Structure 1
Amino acid sequence: MSINSKAAPVSFRSVTKIYGKDVVAVDDINLEIEAGKLVTLLGPSGCGKTTTLRMIAGLEMASKGSIHIGDRDVTLLPATDRDVSMVFQSYALFPHMTVMENVSYGLGFSGFDKSETRDRAAQGLDLVGLKGYGDRLPSELSGGQQQRVAVARALVLEPQVLLFDEPLSNLDAKLRRQVREEIREIQQNLGLTVVYVTHDQEEALAVSDEIVVMRNAGIAQIGTPRQLYDAPADRFVADFIGEANIIPCEITNVTGETASIRVDDFIHSLPARGLGQGAAMLAVRPTRLKLGAEAGMHMEISKATYVGSRMEYTLNAGFGQIFAVSENVDAPLGVGESVIVGLDAIGPVLLPADEPPR
């Protein structure tokens, strides 16, 4: 199967989706998805990510704006004319058909003869590691294997764009990790354009070339996993992409691109990110806090939890509570103990003081 040559970019140009008279599900979004990339739409329930995916598929029609796949304007085209395939959360396998028949099903409508249909279906099963499973029924497979059959059924159609709607939500944690790695490997090996919807931040970080964080029917931030994790645009993104402590601070001075901040009596320098003097927020990952530092914020341990590979701490400070982790499990800190908490040189990020609407 030569899927790579068909992979196409996807473009949203001022797209809005309104249900009824005034329910705005997607609000004037602009989005460019490169051919051959895996882009994840990530956000809480009701943010518009699934509606966006369904508009690519043609299962929902845009109320305003235009959607392009490759060099075609597909805004008004039905799903059958868009050259996309979708892997659903429920897998949507036919229980009375064998694995081979399920994978072959869509090919039967594509003009292939029986011999080529069977060859393509066999190749699809081989791609997802299910060679030799063709005669089994879906009920004889594990959840992870059923998911792979659904992926194979989509792959054999050689779509320009492959869509995944919460594909791992029905699997247990260990299997989710395994199947997401398999999906990512297939996508990279075949150079597929994939748009992937999830509400799971770790899943998004693990599989994506780029993540589109959505909030309130719009786009909060677009970036690579590392960009979003290390440099969130605002408090919502900082909190949603991984865990973050949000600490109030004051920017006392800005020199060039470097800001000097104060938290209580602690002074620290870091990139200003375009902010000026005055109140701000500091987003710090639990792993970027240094417990027992020579200089830092004075805090007290209020909870200490051993979780095997690390210690987890809740600490009380003048501005409130924060959460920190430490790999030092041999000499843990005790509840009630005072500790100086410093900041890593890389990791803490300045954010505007004003919280954007959620």
Structure 2
Amino acid sequence: MKISSKAAPVRFEGVGKTFGKDVVAVDSIDLQIDAGKLVTLLGPSGCGKTTTLRMIAGLEMATSGRILIGERDVTRLPATDRDVSMVFQSYALFPHMSVLENVMYGLTFSGFDKGEARSRALAGLELVGLKGFDGRLPSELSGGQQQRVAVARALVLEPQVLLFDEPLSNLDAKLRRQVREDIRAIQQDLGLTVVYVTHDQEEALAVSDEIVVMRNASIAQIGTPRQLYDAPIDRFVADFIGEANLIDCTIVRVDGDQATIEIEGYRHTLPSRDLPPGPATLAVRPSRIVIGSDAGISATVTKATYVGVRMEYTLTGAFGQVFAVQDNVDDPLETGAEVKMTFADRGPVLLPEG
């Protein structure tokens, strides 16, 4: 993938943000965002992700530590002196201006003459698939089109870093999927450095090169979508990145880097993750639960839901309750059915303590 000549890395060195005397919004984090990558800050409300984004933008000032964009220390610089652009959740389009005027606004404000601003704005609209929409008002556009205008307005400034704050939260499910694909395609085509904030796990998995999972003002884990999904560091990450069933088990044997676990007589071998024999916690994704084996863990189907492309089941047993999905919608299991449950060869993961 190419990297834009203007794309810059972002580095946090012990950055903290405190509001008032005792409200810690961000607690001394270290973070490296490489140039040309799309990195998502993901976490529940109040975890510090939006404050972190706003500190990159200069809309909030760090209480401690250093923020670098490229090799430049921007910790104390105002937003106007940082080469970043931000796409807000609300789009923040001027309703009385045409689409073209909205996209030109930042360029004109930055000192470009009208001719060059117009040329850049038209190119930006073409880039986001809105060629020919320049004369319309924002009210004449769909939500997805308005979001693209906001993206175009940010892109034409050719920032070192492009920031997105919950950009899809105002769109319906189908539009969210389309616009997130658009944003990802533009980012990859242009080689932009993008920092993206969302609380939507699926959205983060779909668009990111790396995901920074935040919890309680700090970083819980950083990794690629696959790393976080397949090897979560703890219960919080396992449950937050996609759905995970957390099941008590016993590690009965460890051979090298492989462990054998047991649940109600059923045994399964998987990576040990340096855990010793004894009680442990297993995280199993709903799609990795296999229903209908001749042997396995006894369970009862307590809920069966048809959602079009798959069946969703709640299974209850001595182990507690788990959520499972199956692609077979033609022969669904009935509520009350007694079944045996096992796990797919790959997918279940032991969770380190802590």
TM-score (norm 2): 0.97
Instruction: Write out aligned runs for 1:53-92 (5 A).
Output: 53-92=53-92
Instruction: Write out aligned runs for 1:89-100 (5 A).
Output: 89-100=89-100
Look up the equivalent residue of 1:196 and give its one-letter code: Y
Secondary structure of 1:106's match? Answer: helix
Aligned pair 1:314/2:335, yes or no? Answer: no
Q: Distance in 1 between matches of 2:27 and 2:293?
A: 46
State the partner residue of 1:259. Answer: 259
Q: Is the 8 A contact 1:3 1:158 kept in 2?
A: no
Which stretch of the first structure deviates more once superposed, 191-200 or 247-256? 247-256
Q: Is the 8 A contact 2:41 2:49 kept in 1?
A: yes
Q: Is the 8 A contact 1:233 1:351 kept in 2?
A: yes
Which stretch of the first structure deviates more once superposed, 138-147 or 17-26? 138-147
Q: Cα offset for 1:119?
A: 0.5
Q: Distance in 2 between matches of 1:167 and 1:328?
A: 35
Q: Distance in 2 between matches of 1:330 and 1:98?
A: 51
Secondary structure of 2:5's match? Answer: helix
Look up the equivalent residue of 1:130 and give its one-letter code: L
Look up the equivalent residue of 1:179 and give its one-letter code: V
State the partner residue of 2:199. Answer: 199
State the partner residue of 1:218. Answer: 218
The percent identity for this pair of structures is: 74
Q: Distance in 1 between matches of 2:29 and 2:278?
A: 32
Q: Cα offset for 1:209?
A: 0.6
CA RMSD of aligned residues (A): 1.3
Q: Cα offset for 1:237?
A: 0.7
Specify every segment of 5 or more residues in structure 1 that has no aligned partner in the other structure, as ranges. Answer: none
Q: Is the 8 A contact 2:212 2:223 kept in 1?
A: yes
Look up the equivalent residue of 1:70 and give its one-letter code: G
Secondary structure of 1:295's match? Answer: coil
Look up the equivalent residue of 1:174 and give its one-letter code: K
Q: Distance in 1 between matches of 2:335 and 2:146?
A: 48
Which stretch of the first structure deviates more once superposed, 131-140 or 28-37? 131-140
Look up the equivalent residue of 2:258 and give its one-letter code: T
Q: Is the 8 A contact 2:51 2:60 kept in 1?
A: yes
Q: Is the 8 A contact 1:121 1:156 kept in 2?
A: yes
Q: Cα offset for 1:109?
A: 2.6
Specify every segment of 5 or more residues in structure 2 that has no aligned partner in the other structure, as ranges. Answer: none
Q: Distance in 1 between matches of 2:165 and 2:336?
A: 46
Q: Distance in 2 between matches of 1:322 and 1:135?
A: 53
Q: Distance in 1 between matches of 2:329 and 2:151?
A: 42
Q: Distance in 1 between matches of 2:95 and 2:336?
A: 59
CA deviations over 1:185-240 (Å, ceiling 9, x no partner): 10000000000000011111111111101000001111111111111111111111
Distance 1:247 1:154, change over 3 A: same
State the partner residue of 1:157. Answer: 157
Instruction: Write out aligned runs for 1:21-32 (5 A).
Output: 21-32=21-32
State the partner residue of 2:285. Answer: 285
Q: Distance in 1 between matches of 2:310 and 2:3?
A: 44
Secondary structure of 1:305's match? Answer: strand
Secondary structure of 1:5's match? Answer: coil
Q: Cα offset for 1:261?
A: 0.9
State the partner residue of 1:13. Answer: 13
Q: Is the 8 A contact 1:282 1:348 kept in 2?
A: yes
Q: Distance in 2 between matches of 1:58 and 1:32?
A: 17
TM-score (norm 1): 0.96
Look up the equivalent residue of 2:305 and give its one-letter code: T
Q: Cα offset for 1:286?
A: 0.7
Q: Distance in 2 between matches of 1:70 and 1:295?
A: 58
Q: Alignment length, in residue pairs? A: 353
Q: Cα offset for 1:3?
A: 8.5
Instruction: Write out aligned runs for 1:1-358 (5 A).
Output: 4-352=4-352, 354=353, 356=354
Q: Is the 8 A contact 1:3 1:159 kept in 2?
A: no
Q: Distance in 1 between matches of 2:39 and 2:193?
A: 8
Q: Distance in 1 between matches of 2:307 and 2:40?
A: 30
Q: Cα offset for 1:255?
A: 1.3
Q: Cα offset for 1:335?
A: 2.1
Look up the equivalent residue of 1:182 and give its one-letter code: D
Q: Distance in 2 between matches of 1:312 and 1:173?
A: 19
Secondary structure of 1:32's match? Answer: strand
Q: Distance in 2 between matches of 1:38 and 1:240?
A: 20
Q: Distance in 1 between matches of 2:321 and 2:75?
A: 49
Q: Distance in 2 between matches of 1:283 and 1:254?
A: 18
